[in-house]
Structure formats: structure tokens, C-alpha cells
Amino acid sequence: MSFDPEGTALGVQRQEELCRSLVEQRGMTVAAVFVDNDVSASSKSTKPRPQYAEMLARAGKGEFAAIVAYSNSRLTRRPQEYNDLIDIAAQHNVRISTVASGEFDLNTADGRAVARTIAAWDAAESERLSERIKAALAQRRKAGGRHGGPSPWGFVSVNKTLVADPAEAKLIRSAARRLLRGDSIYAIAREWNAKGLRTRHGHTWKGGELRAKLSRQSLMGLNSAGVKAWEPILGARTFKEMQVVIQARPHTNKHETSALSLGLTRCALCGLRMRTSRGGNGYRSLACTRGIHAVPSDRETGDPQFTGSEVGCGHSRIHHDRLEAYVFAQVIAGIEAGHITPHPPAANYRDVGRLNSRLDDLVARKRRNDNAFLEGALSAQDHALYSRQIRVEETAARFELDSALGHAQFDAIVADGLDWQNWTAVRRRNFLSTVITRIEIRPYPLGRKRSPPRPKSMSMDEWLKRDIAFWNMMAPMRVHVVY
């Protein structure tokens, strides 16, 4: 049977009864029954037919002398499969009998010719049927109907009409709000997994899978032809804004844990971006790494300038968590006082797509460069040079991408307040990117100690309080926030 949506196999049962009657009329005995229910024998079908394959294998072992089917088309409509059946039948003297299509003696040339001809016509009829079905589905889609198949994520089928599934629709709307507020796909997937939420198939959520599901136009109530067909879960404006964010952030580091990295924090001396590291005492810091080639800070024009000779000076280092708290305190105070306003968004779909393609191309170039070095086609010096050029182009592309995207809407980011300590690192960084250009870090002034002395009589808790107070006193001299 090629179609049994209810799974009752009533059609198979009727066909089996007719086949058994034919077996009884011919005076034969049933050795085995092979059933592939709800699997088409059409040449257009891609579903495997395990029972048919087993039947051929057992026929090839000579386990039975005849194959009985309801009709020739129930055996197969795939000419190549029929040729395999003919070869086995001819080699092992197996006869083929059908209720509706008669009997074929495959041990004669005429019998094989007739069987192949009927198989070819069955295949042609199957293809014509496929064409008619496709045309009918296309007409249905243009009229605002469904094409069939499983219900898309977020919906269930009720009387052949899609309606929102309350639980899944709630997740979708929550994900859309969080993306527009600056959270990442990976942060949402991690949180859902931690809460025990699973996909329809019971699997854990992956960032790529969630991105694909949130990019489907069915969420706007549109079918595959782009025609309004059911009530949406997301409005068109919300969906399109979400797509800009998704398309512009496919290269976001899913393990990102710092809101101040990725070029937002720069060394005030050499202008190079500072990287996160963890000291021997366990706390995180941001440091300018000596000798590292990178793109200088965008001091005046807003564009990264690279001469090929800039290297990190290694003089600036600062406590990460204290810097983050200090910057957020400065920014929030400025917003509340009305001195700081968010950067205007400037999302551009065409530029976002172009820049994403450029980043994909740079990733492919880096892979080819690495492979050439591993295969011995590039020297270590040339590999380092090309890698540096790729990094420069990647940084420039990311800078342009931020400009093309603008930033997530400021109102959406702060819609539920400014409790930034409970935000994800990606959301914190997106928030800062809407109001500041960069953070410049200066080294400690010459002759100044980096921490206050600790007398032997002072407890660690007391000294930490003094150390924090000392850090806050030095912060205005070391930290410069550029708006």
C-alpha cells in the first residue's frame, strides 16, 4: 500500500485476502508474507522498502517457487527494481502471479518483454500522477491552502486547518522577544535544554536547528508559496526584525562569556583590542597581549585601519568583572540623566546578506589556507601572512556588519528593566553597543601600585574592600568610555 494515513492497513488486508484466494486456486502454499504498508512503489518515492528487499533476497536463495501480488504495480513501479526481480526469477525459476495483472513466465523472452513493458507503463502512470499531484498542490498553495505533511513548529492541525499550539507558540514569542533584546540563539537553546524543554522528537535543542525553525515564514501564517493561509504566531514586522538579527549574527561565538571582548575594549596606548584571560588567582581580566598583530582602534574615522606592522604593547590589563560593573554604572547613570542616547538603528537586508556571504567566504579561505599548510603547499611564513590578512578582512567585515545591522532596538533590550547582571553576555554586549563606541584602557600611572598594601593583621575580607575602593578610585584615570 502506498497510502495509509490512518495506519489501519485495511487495504493491505483486502489485497492479502485476494492473493491468498489466488494461491489456493493454484494449489500452492503460502511460505511467507511481505508487506510494506504506506510505502509507495513509485519511481518518485524515496522511502526504503525493507520487506520488498527481503523478498528479493529470499527469492535469490530459492526459498519459494512463486511470487504472488495483487497487481504488477503493487510489486514495483521502478523499472530498475523490476529488472532485478526478472533476473532473480529467471535464475531461480520463480513465477510471478498477480490477481489483477495476470501471470508472467519470466523464463521466456516474450514473458520478460511483456513484464518490462508493463513496468515501464506503470512507471509512466506513476510519474503522470506525480505531476498531477504537484500541480494540484501548487494550485492549493496559491489559493492559500497547505501542501500537506507534518504541521510546522508552533502549529497543530485541527480539521485540516493549522492553529497555534499554545505551548510552542509561547516559546516562539519568547525567543523572538529575547533575540530582539540582544540574546543569542545559543543562549536561548542552552536555557531551554537546562529547563528540560525538548524538540518534538525528544532531542535537545541545537542552535542551528532553533535558528532554522525561527526563520520559517509559517510563523507569519504564510504557506510555502508566501500566501496567507492561517493565523500567525508572529507579526510580519516582528518576524522581519528577528530575521535581520538572525542573519547578521550567524557567526556569533556560542561560547561567548564576556560582554567586553570582541573589540569593544581597546588598549589606549596601542589601540588594539584587549582579550579575556584568567589570572593565577582565578579572576578574569582583559589584557593587551604583547606582540599580537591586530587591527588598531577606530579612534577618529570609525573604521578599522591596518598598516600590517601594528602589534600589541602588552602594557594594559584590568579586572574584567570590576570594569564591567563600572561601565554599566556609568552608562545607566548617563541614560537616567538623559545625557546618553542609543545609536540609531540602520538595518539593511541587502548589506547584511552581502556581509554574511563575505564572512562565509573568509571562513572558507581560512580553511583552504590551513589545509595548504598542512599538506606542505605553504611555508609557515606564508601561512602566517595569509592568516593575518584573513583576520584583518574578517575584522573589517564584522565592523561593516555592525554598521549595516545597526543594533537591536534599545527599547526592546531594556523593555523589562536594566537588571543587567541577570542578562546573558551577548545581551549585555549588544546593550553596550547601542550606546557606546568603545572602552579605552590606560595602564596604571608610573610609580602607582596596582593594589593597596595588606598588613598582616588585616583579614582578607577587609583587604578586598580596601582593594575595591582603591580600584574605583583609579578607574576614572584608567577607563575612558567613548560614546
pLDDT one-digit tens code per residue, 361-407: 888 888 888 888 888 888 888 888 888 888 878 777 766 665 555 44
Residue 473 lies in a domain: yes
Same domain? 25 vs 73: yes
Q: Give the Cα separation of 219 and 227 in Å (integer).
A: 12
Q: Specify the pLDDT at position 134.
A: 63
Taking residues 134-160, what's their average pLDDT? 71
pLDDT attached to residue 298: 39
149 has a pLDDT exceeding 50: yes
State yes or no: pLDDT of 129 exceeds 70: no
Residue 75 and residue 41 in contact, taking contact as beta carbons nearer than 8 Å: yes
C-alpha distances out from residue 249 to 349, 417, 431, Å: 13, 24, 15
Q: What is the mean pLDDT of the chain?
A: 76
Residues 287 and 266: their CA atoms lie apart, in Å, by: 9
- Overall average pLDDT of the 94-102 stretch: 78
**Contact at 8 Å (CB) between 238 and 246?**
no
Please indicate, yes or no, whether residues 35 and 173 belong to a single structural domain of this protein.
Answer: no
Does 74 lie in the same domain as 33?
yes
Indicate if 421 and 464 belong to the same structural domain.
yes
Q: Judge whether 348 and 404 are in contact, CB under 8 Å.
A: yes
Q: 129 is written with which cell numbers?
A: 500522477
Which phi and psi angles does 480 have, rounded to 5°? -125, 115
CA neighbor of 424 nearest in space, from 296, 253, 274: 253
Q: Are residues 171 and 276 in the same domain?
A: no
CB 275 within 8 A of CB 261: yes
**Range of 76's domain?**
10-142
pLDDT band at 15 (very low <50, low <70, confident <90, very high): confident
More confident residue, 218 or 289: 218
Given a contact cutoff of 8 angstroms between Cβ atoms, the answer to whether 205 and 192 are in contact is yes
Pair 225, 277 in one domain: no
One-letter amino acid at 428 equals R
What would the mean pLDDT of 445-459 be, rounded to a whole number?
83
The model's pLDDT over 261-309, given as tens digits with 9 standing for 90+, comes to 767 888 888 888 888 887 666 788 888 877 655 444 333 334 344 343 3
7-11, 370-374, 418-422, 465-469: least confident range: 7-11
The pLDDT score that the predictor gives to residue 193 is 92
The tally of domains found in the chain comes to 3
Q: How confident is the model at residue 351 (pLDDT cuts 50, 70, 90)?
A: low
Pairwise CA distance, residues 60 & 295, whole Å: 69
Instruction: Output phi, psi for 155, to 5 deg.
Output: -135, 160
- Residues, the chain, total? 483
* CA-closest candidate to residue 80, choices 123, 46, 47: 123
pLDDT at 346 exceeding the cut of 60? no
Q: Is 397 domain-assigned? A: no
Nearest partner of 172 among 210, 205, 206, judged by Cα: 210
Confidence category of residue 196, pLDDT binned at 50, 70, 90: very high
Same domain, 136 and 173: no
Q: Which pLDDT belongs to residue 371?
A: 84
Domain shared by 135 and 189, yes or no: no
CA–CA distance from 399 to each of 283, 363, 391, 394 (Å)? 29, 16, 12, 9
Q: Which of 66, 473, 75, 425 is nearest to 276 (CA)?
A: 425
Q: What is the mean pLDDT of residues 244-249?
A: 67
Same domain, 428 and 292: yes
Of 109-118, 270-279, 287-296, 469-478, which gets the smallest average pLDDT?
Answer: 287-296
401: nearest Cα among 352, 435, 345: 352
In contact, 150 and 168? CB cutoff 8 Å: no
Residues sharing a CB contact under 8 Å with residue 298, sequence separation 6 or more, in sequence order: 304, 305, 399, 437, 438
Residue 296 gets the label, from left (phi > 0), alpha (psi -120 to 50) or beta, of beta
pLDDT at residue 299, rounded to an integer: 39
CB 224 within 8 A of CB 208: no
Q: What is the pLDDT of residue 5?
A: 43
Q: Is residue 2 part of a domain?
A: no
The rounded percent of the chain whose pLDDT value lies above 90 is 10
For residue 211, which of 155, 153, 269 has the smallest C-alpha distance?
Answer: 153
Picking from 94, 121, 142, the residue at the C-terminal end of a domain is 142
In contact, 439 and 479? CB cutoff 8 Å: yes
pLDDT band at 323 (very low <50, low <70, confident <90, very high): very high
CA 321 and chain centroid, separation: 31
Please report the pLDDT score of residue 11 as a whole number.
Answer: 66
Q: Is residue 418 a part of any domain in this protein?
A: yes
Residues 197 and 331 in one domain: no
Same domain, 283 and 177: no
Inside any domain, residue 401: no
Whether 116 is in a domain gets the answer yes
Is the four-CA dihedral 458, 459, 462, 465 of positive or negative sign? positive
**Bridge partners for 155 per DSSP:** 164
336 and 465, same structural domain? yes
